Amino acid sequence: MDKPTLLSGTGIRAGVMVLLLAVWVAACKPDRPASQSTTPAGRDASSAVAENADPSKGIGQVQHVTLNTPLEQDRIKRGQAIYEMKCQACHRLDETRVVGPGWAGVTKRRKPEWIMNMITNVDVMLDQDPEAQKLLELCLTRMPNQNVSIGDARDILEFMRKNDGEE
């Protein structure tokens, strides 16, 4: 039996298949991990946010929060429901530390942007924000990512403001 050569029908088909496979693999291969984005200058976007952000506002999408007086009652109700469902197991409304720190006075100690970024971007905050890292050292347990939307975080913030005595 003759060996297939590159010019024989079997050899050409095999060569074409190898070529197609190589093109397919090259086209599907990502240039970088899907979870990592870059800025136009080619830097990692999360570090760019960390470089440019006001440290007292934390790291994340929330850069400005408008607080209304009086408090928004609908937001308070939604925030309380989210607290009871996702937060209450680890946080108390007074100063008691359970797994995480108590919430009493948090809106007096932290800017609203920092609070919302901590809720919505917890992994990056714990890895890069100095204040969040201090809380991690104190509590010894990473806050889990609860996949809270920015809107829900705003509702939680309003509930926290009520808890701290604002009206």
pLDDT tens-digit series, residues 41-90:
343 444 434 444 588 999 999 999 999 999 999 999 999 999 999 999 99
Please check whether residue 7 lies inside any domain of the structure.
yes
Please check whether residue 121 lies inside any domain of the structure.
yes
Same domain, 53 and 20: no
What is the domain range of residue 26? 1-33
Same domain, 105 and 154: yes
Q: What is the CATH number of the domain that holds 119?
A: 1.10.760.10
Closest CA relative to residue 106, chosen from 88, 93, 87, 123:
93
Please check whether residue 93 is in contact with residue 100, taking contact to mean a CB–CB distance below 8 angstroms.
no
pLDDT tens-digit series, residues 87-133:
999 999 999 999 999 999 999 999 999 999 999 999 999 999 999 99
Same domain, 51 and 12: no
Please check whether residue 136 is in contact with residue 54, taking contact to mean a CB–CB distance below 8 angstroms.
no
What is the rounded distance in angstroms from the CA atom of residue 67 to the CA atom of residue 72?
A: 9
Length of the chain measured in residues = 167
Query: What's the total number of domains in the chain?
Result: 2
Q: Encoding tokens for residue 56?
A: 């007292």
Same domain, 11 and 81: no
Please check whether residue 38 lies inside any domain of the structure.
no
Q: Give the model's confidence band at 36: pLDDT under 50 very low, under 70 low, under 90 confident, else very high.
A: very low
Same domain, 82 and 136: yes
Same domain, 11 and 80: no
Same domain, 75 and 155: yes
The angle subtended at Cα 133 by Cα 132 and Cα 134, nearest 5°, is 90
pLDDT tens-digit series, residues 84-98:
999 999 999 999 999
Same domain, 29 and 98: no
Task: Look at residue 95 in the predicted model and tell me its pLDDT.
Answer: 97
